[in-house]
Amino acid sequence: MNASIKTPAEQQLMRIAGRLTADVLDMIGPQVQPGVSTEELDRICHDFIVGVQQAIPAPLNYRGFPKSICTSVNHVVCHGIPGDRKLRQGDIVNIDITVIKDGFHGDSSRMFFVGKPTVQGARVTQVAFDAMWAGIRMVRPGARLGDIGHAVQACTESQGCSVVREYCGHGIGRGFHEDPQVLHYGRPGTGMELREGMTFTIEPMVNAGERGVRLLPDGWTVVTRDHSLSAQWEHTVLVTATGCEVLTLGAADRP
């Protein structure tokens, strides 16, 4: 695996793409309400990305994916295809946004509650959030990918949840999915060493039950084998001289 180092000019373009990605999530959050369908959320995001941001929704037609965003509800782990299912009170939903601006990608996802969540829905969502941040906190030059994976896995398993192994974070830049693969499990001190100028995602999928998953016949939708709830959060990060810059922070979290 060979991770590319972004130049300062490329890093600036990644900042812009990351900010636009976060802006889409900030925009769509208040629209996640009981009765709205996931394809309505897709259309709103598509129109905002294309019409307002003058950017490109990267998922649309990516390897045949038919929509502009991924919407993964309850026991859907990732890559849910927006459709006519209306969201209901108590659902938990991941919305995953990837935009391309001036040739560079930003990739981020968040969980949203439809009305008041169940205890289990709130719990798996919080564990996935904490696990993502445990991984992000490891990012600095000289750290290794295994340090990130271990931190994510330890955080998740210490709270009685499990980490999905079949999907991982990834380098990102001009490409949607670049090297390296960023596993969400592993051993400290192993794997590629991080260097200033690398950009990649950390995006753990956390199941309330067992870690096993199944791909539905649509070829995209990934669900938990045991039908337990699943949650995911994702940020795009840049390795800086002293640590890490999170490129996809929402407006409320920006310094």
Q: Which listed option, Co ion, ligand MF3, none, makes contact with residue 223 (CB within 5 to 8 Å by class)?
A: none
Minimum CB separation from ligand MF3 for residue 99, in Å? 10
Residue with the shortest CB distance to ligand MF3: 59
φ, ψ of residue 156 to 5 degrees: the values are: -65, -50
Binding region for Co ion (CB under 5 A) out of 8-16, 88-96, 184-192, 216-224: 88-96
Window 91 to 150, contacts with ligand MF3 (CB under 6 A): 96, 98, 107
Read off the DSSP letter of residue 1. -
Task: Answer yes or no whether residue 57 interacts with ligand MF3 by CB under 6 A.
Answer: no
Binding region for ligand MF3 (CB under 6 A) out of 25-33, 57-65, 126-134, 142-150: 57-65
Q: Pick between residue 10 and residue 96 the one whose CB is nearest to ligand MF3.
A: 96
Minimum CB separation from Co ion for residue 230, in Å? 15
Q: Is 27 exposed, middle or buried (0-12, 13-18, 19+ CB in 10 A)?
A: middle
Answer yes or no: are the C-beta atoms of 136 and 168 closer than 8 Å: no
Minimum CB separation from ligand MF3 for residue 96, in Å? 4
Binding region for ligand MF3 (CB under 6 A) out of 58-66, 124-132, 210-218, 222-230: 58-66
DSSP 82-142: P-SPBP-TT-EEEEEEEEEETTEEEEEEEEEESSSPPHHHHHHHHHHHHHHHHHHTT-STT
Give the integer Cα–Cα distance in Å for 181 and 177: 9
The amino acid at residue 178 is: E
Q: Which listed option, ligand MF3, Co ion, none, makes contact with residue 133 (CB within 5 to 8 Å by class)?
A: none
Give the integer Cα–Cα distance in Å for 138 and 147: 7
Task: Answer yes or no whether residue 62 interacts with ligand MF3 by CB under 6 A.
Answer: yes
In the chain, the largest separation of any two C-alpha atoms, in whole Å, equals 48
Q: Which listed option, Co ion, ligand MF3, none, makes contact with residue 130 (CB within 5 to 8 Å by class)?
A: none
What residues pair up with 244 in beta bridges, in sequence order? Answer: 239
Binding site for ligand MF3 (CB under 6 A): 59, 62-63, 65, 70, 79, 96, 98, 107, 203, 220, 234
Binding site for Co ion (CB under 5 A): 96, 107, 201, 234
